[in-house]
Amino acid sequence: MERWRSWGMGRRPIQIWYAAILVLLATLLGSFLVAQETAPRPPQTGLLASTPEPVYSNNTNDPWNRIFYFLFSRRIETRVSEEFSEGAPFVDGVSTRTFERNEIGDRAIDPLYPSQIVDMGRRLVLTEPGYPGFTKALHEALDESVPRSTVARALMQSDLWGAHDILFVPFPAADEKELGERRLATLDLISRLIRKIALTPAEIKSLPNNYSAAVQRHAFPDVFGKDSGWIEVLGFHPRAHDSVAGFRRTARVFLKPAQVQRDMKEFLNGLPQRAESDPIGGLDGVALVTQLLLIDTEGKLHPTTLTSEAQVRMFENSDESRSKPNDGRFKTNDGTLKRTSLQVCEISRKLFVREPGSGGLVPEDDSMPAYDQGYGFGEGQAVNQGPDASILVETPIQVTLRTRCAECHGDFDADKHICDCAPSA
């Protein structure tokens, strides 16, 4: 119990003291008690109670829909930040109560979450009641002779590959004794299905470039366009995004210099030095476009034109008179005021399979709910606490998308990363 109280511990006693002075004792102590009762606990994640989402066809009983359900659809217990007023009361900016979120999971995330710090995501499909349903769906998918489109096979293979990598890692010895057999049996089914639905090299080549639909329909920058002014930077491998994705995807970085550069190489090589004093110096924007790798019928790896996620940050000139604190405005070295605007889109398998022309990429607003902490989804907060220095994990916190970005890229001006991916000399 004591161990889970780490979050904001330092500030709580002060709060009580002031409450006493202000004779608001009853109310404030009341909320303190609520906070105590619901002190941070490890994440509670379960399978969704509802039926599978009709992702790959209208039939919810389709084995592919059931596989998707076991890989992705979860009930997640979360706390919310004070960016969401409905979460009140808050202590130290986070709701004292927890909320349940039904996550269908049809977005740019890895299956079997949470799996980065805790591993209940995969335990759910290896224990009752998940295990029999999951393996039945895998068997049926192996036995069926239903034709599936190249896009559907590509997306499903990528997800199965992610599940394979997560299940490949043995549990600690005691748990492995109990679950090891099921783990290996499931791995075998998944491997066979990865192979069965693999695309030929020619099919992989024929896959659409779905990012272009995001450019046409949702005004994303044409980073692949020859005359768009955007250039791809190849330096700094391995990239954090590639490595957390187990190298099943590739995160491509693009920059848009503010002016036409006569010597692009010199401009790029100068970025890391200039970044010391002016992180966005000379840039209009930066973009990260994540694309899937696939395994072909011969077992060979291929890059593809399938984008699963795109994140863009544009640095726009901003009018000082309208400036409010914390709205993303910041001053550059030459004194101009800039604002970072974000553009984010994520894959929806359902949309892409049903309407291939849409490209399947769904744009997101920067005020949309997201989970904080790291690259995962609904993973929870790691807290290194306790005499044995073991890693403890608390319920995840729901924040806005913009706050999530700022957690890695710096506060609001989100300007910390550009130099990280510029090529070295």
The total of other beta-carbon atoms located within 10 Å of residue 245's CB is 21
Does residue 288 belong to the site contacting ligand HEC (CB under 6 A)? yes
Q: How far is the CB of 395 from ligand HEC (least distance, A)?
A: 18
- Can you tell me which residue has the tokens 């955007």? 230
Does residue 400 belong to the site contacting ligand HEC (CB under 6 A)? no
Name which of 65 and 307 has its Cβ closer to ligand HEC.
Answer: 307
Q: Which of 248, 256, 329, 409 binds ligand HEC (CB under 6 A)?
A: 409
Q: Residues binding ligand HEC: what is the number (CB under 6 A)?
A: 25
Q: What is the chain's Cα-based Rg?
A: 24
Does residue 362 belong to the site contacting ligand HEC (CB under 6 A)? no
Read off the tokens for 90.
Answer: 């808050």
- Segment interacting with ligand HEC, rule: CB under 6 A, options 70-78, 90-98, 168-176, 401-409: 401-409
Name which of 5 and 417 has its Cβ closer to ligand HEC.
Answer: 417
Q: How far is the CB of 416 from ligand HEC (least distance, A)?
A: 8
Site string for ligand HEC, 292-311 (x = CB under 6 A): -------------------x
Does residue 76 belong to the site contacting ligand HEC (CB under 6 A)? no
The number of angstroms, rounded, from the C-alpha of 424 to the middle of its chain's C-alpha atoms is 28
Q: How far is the CB of 216 from ligand HEC (least distance, A)?
A: 20
- Sign of dihedral through CA atoms 72, 171, 123, 390? negative
Measure the CA angle with vertex 206, ends 201 and 210; round to 5°: 125
Q: Cβ distance 53 to 104 under 8 Å?
A: yes
Q: Cβ distance 28 to 14 under 8 Å?
A: no
Instruction: Find, among 365, 260, 256, 364, the residue nearest to 316 by Cα.
Output: 256
Return d(Cα 191, Cα 146) in angstroms, integer: 19
Amino acid at 75: R
- Segment interacting with ligand HEC, rule: CB under 6 A, options 26-34, 43-51, 330-338, 397-405: 397-405
Site string for ligand HEC, 228-267 (x = CB under 6 A): -----------xxx---------x-x--------------
The total of other beta-carbon atoms located within 10 Å of residue 226's CB is 7
Give the burial class of 44: count Cβ atoms within 10 A of its Cβ; 0-12 exposed, 13-18 middle, 19 or more buried.
middle
Does residue 340 belong to the site contacting ligand HEC (CB under 6 A)? no
Q: Which of 312, 362, 392, 397 binds ligand HEC (CB under 6 A)?
A: 312
Name which of 183 and 338 has its Cβ closer to ligand HEC.
Answer: 338
Q: How far is the CB of 420 from ligand HEC (least distance, A)?
A: 5
Does residue 107 belong to the site contacting ligand HEC (CB under 6 A)? no
The total of other beta-carbon atoms located within 10 Å of residue 61's CB is 12
Return d(Cα 306, Cα 252) in angstroms, integer: 12
Does residue 186 belong to the site contacting ligand HEC (CB under 6 A)? no
Does residue 351 belong to the site contacting ligand HEC (CB under 6 A)? no
Measure the CA angle with vertex 295, ends 289 and 298; round to 5°: 150
Does residue 420 belong to the site contacting ligand HEC (CB under 6 A)? yes
Under the rule (CB under 6 A), what is the footprint of ligand HEC?
A: 239-241, 251, 253, 286-288, 311-313, 342, 344, 374-375, 401, 404-405, 407-409, 417-418, 420-421
